[in-house]
């Protein structure tokens, strides 16, 4: 006789949810779509209200943000003081803690994304998203900037940041700008951090514990 199984097939909504859950030290993570979406710049605007500087990508905004953090008794940015580092610092305080469940962060500031195409709705933002899970970035994706003049200007700003000691600032690449002059069609790309994914699935707090060659 033919035996039958009492185990339900994985085609119901509840089974779909269960199949895409994992557990971390602090909470369960549910990968059932749709994922939450929050705005990087929009979140900061909500936090600071009318005090949020309109020139948030500039060096002039750094002392303003430092004072706003002091008022809220939040940790201030340590040297070097650059717009990109300030935006990253603010993200660590006000945005990443909101991203335990899978969350797309959009509307990134241009100072954090020197290779990304600017947004059509706000020239201070770019067409970029990151996927955060458990408060950590898993995916980074953006539309490529294909204007050589604008790219040179971005590299110039990044060079200023490097001169102040920001080792993560993008170094100039004239060969890349020359290639853009020949033409680059609308292009986008994304990357997934396999090591971060392994950290999530194994509930590991140190990246060294999941690297094959630490």
Place of tokens 């500087």: 53
Indicate if the pLDDT at residue 146 is higher than 50: yes
Q: What pTM does this model have?
A: 0.84
Better-predicted residue by pLDDT, 174 or 214? 174
Cα separation of 201 and 94, whole Å? 25
Q: What is the pLDDT of residues 95-135, one digit of tens each?
A: 999 999 999 999 999 999 999 999 998 989 999 999 999 88
Cα separation of 53 and 45, whole Å? 9
Greatest Cα-to-Cα distance within the chain, rounded to the nearest angstrom: 80
Q: pLDDT-derived band of residue 200, with 50, 70 and 90 as boundaries?
A: confident
From 9-13, 46-50, 100-104, the region with the lowest mean pLDDT: 9-13
Q: Give alpha helix (H) positions in the chain.
A: 13-19, 40-48, 61-71, 83-94, 148-163, 174-182, 194-201
What's the mean pLDDT in 177-196?
Answer: 93
Cα separation of 66 and 69, whole Å? 5
Contact 109, 56 (CB under 8 A): yes
Q: Give which of 22, 16, 56, 43 is closest to 138, Cα–Cα.
A: 22
Q: What is the pLDDT of residues 65-87, one digit of tens each?
A: 999 999 999 999 999 999 999 99
């Amino acid at each position: 006789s033919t035996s039958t199984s009492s185990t339900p097939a994985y085609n119901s909504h509840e089974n779909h949810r269960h199949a895409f859950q994992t557990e971390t030290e602090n909470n369960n993570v549910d990968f059932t779509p749709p994922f939450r979406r929050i705005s990087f710049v929009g979140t900061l605007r909500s936090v600071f209200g009318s005090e949020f500087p309109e020139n948030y990508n500039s060096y002039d905004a750094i002392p303003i943000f430092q004072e706003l953090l002091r008022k809220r008794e939040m940790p201030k940015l340590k040297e070097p003081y650059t717009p990109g580092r300030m935006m990253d610092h603010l993200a660590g305080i006000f945005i990443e803690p909101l991203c335990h469940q899978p969350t797309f962060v959009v509307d990134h500031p241009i100072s954090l994304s020197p290779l990304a195409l600017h947004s059509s709705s706000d020239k201070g933002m770019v067409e970029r998203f990151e996927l955060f899970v458990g408060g950590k970035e898993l995916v980074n994706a953006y539309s490529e900037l294909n204007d050589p003049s604008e790219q040179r200007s971005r590299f110039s700003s990044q060079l200023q940041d490097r001169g102040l000691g920001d080792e993560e600032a993008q170094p100039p690449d004239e060969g890349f700008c020359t290639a853009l002059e020949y033409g680059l069609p609308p292009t986008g790309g994304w990357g997934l951090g396999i090591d971060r994914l392994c950290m999530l699935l194994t509930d590991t707090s140190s990246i060294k514990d999941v690297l094959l060659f630490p």
